[in-house]
């Protein structure tokens, strides 16, 4: 991959890692400010937190569940940030795993809104747009970073990761069934 594109992709990776760390810390601090971690906080339609007993509320809205998710996000974000600096493809997996788990939990929570709202309101909401756009953006960024870290010039040893631009052999296109490779040394 050309240097400018690899820098562009790495910048997106750093932005994702810093965002995960930032929001992880923000949510953890927010949860720690709650006096009783068993107390449940949920949003009403206007975006204001309501204190309710912890009976049938969605577990992601419970402070202890949110604290656990926040701490795992901080850990995964830190591993991903260090992996970005060291360009290790193995460090993408913890981040991708927690992202997939958390996205699935949020998707289930979003689908449970169908009990209170109509199908059109749920599908045409901003939440649905976010649930579609962010996983595509993060997923493609993680996939390209994985390929980028897999195919670093110092690590390539003829495994097919070299770009055509960086190859020393000329490229020859043929239109027929016969391929004459006698010109390749």
CA end-to-end span of the chain: 25
Query: Can you give the pLDDT at residue 28?
Result: 85
Is 95 inside a domain boundary? yes
- Does residue 176 surpass a pLDDT of 90? no
Is 71 inside a domain boundary? yes
Whether the pTM exceeds 0.75: the reply is no
- Does residue 183 surpass a pLDDT of 50? yes
Q: Please, which pLDDT band fits residue 108 given cuts at 50, 70 and 90?
A: confident
Is 156 inside a domain boundary? no
Query: Can you give the pLDDT at residue 45?
Result: 58
Query: What tokens appear for 163 in the block?
Result: 């770009």
Is 98 inside a domain boundary? yes
Model pLDDT for residues 115-163, shown as the tens digit of each residue: 777 777 777 777 788 888 889 999 999 999 998 888 765 444 445 555 5
Is 178 inside a domain boundary? no
User: What span, in angstroms and rounded, lies between the C-alpha atoms of 133 and 21?
Assistant: 20
User: What span, in angstroms and rounded, lies between the C-alpha atoms of 125 and 118?
Assistant: 11
Is 29 inside a domain boundary? yes
Residues 6 or more apart whose Cβ sits within 8 Å of residue 59: 65
Domain interval for residue 31: 3-150
- Does residue 164 surpass a pLDDT of 70? no
Is 158 inside a domain boundary? no
Q: Pick left, alpha or beta for residue 57 (phi over 0 → left; psi -120 to 50 → alpha; otherwise beta).
A: beta
Is 160 inside a domain boundary? no
Pairing of strands 40-43, 49-52: antiparallel
Number of domains forming the structure of the chain: 1
């Amino acid at each position: 991959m050309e240097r400018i594109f690899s820098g562009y992709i790495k910048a997106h990776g750093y932005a994702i890692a810093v965002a995960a760390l930032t929001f992880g810390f923000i949510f953890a601090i927010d949860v720690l400010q709650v006096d009783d971690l068993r107390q449940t906080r949920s949003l009403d339609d206007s975006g204001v937190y309501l204190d309710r007993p912890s009976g049938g509320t969605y577990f992601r809205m419970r402070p202890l569940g949110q604290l656990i998710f926040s701490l795992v996000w901080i850990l995964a974000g830190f591993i991903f940030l260090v992996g970005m600096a060291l360009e290790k493809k193995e460090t993408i997996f913890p981040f991708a795993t927690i992202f997939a788990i958390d996205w699935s939990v949020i998707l289930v929570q979003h689908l449970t809104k169908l009990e209170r709202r109509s199908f059109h309101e749920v599908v045409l909401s901003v939440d649905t747009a976010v649930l579609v756009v962010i996983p595509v953006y993060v997923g493609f960024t993680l996939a390209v970073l994985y390929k980028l870290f897999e195919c670093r010039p110092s690590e390539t040893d003829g495994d097919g990761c070299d770009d055509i631009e960086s190859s020393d052999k000329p490229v020859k296109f043929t239109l027929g069934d016969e391929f004459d490779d006698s010109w390749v040394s």
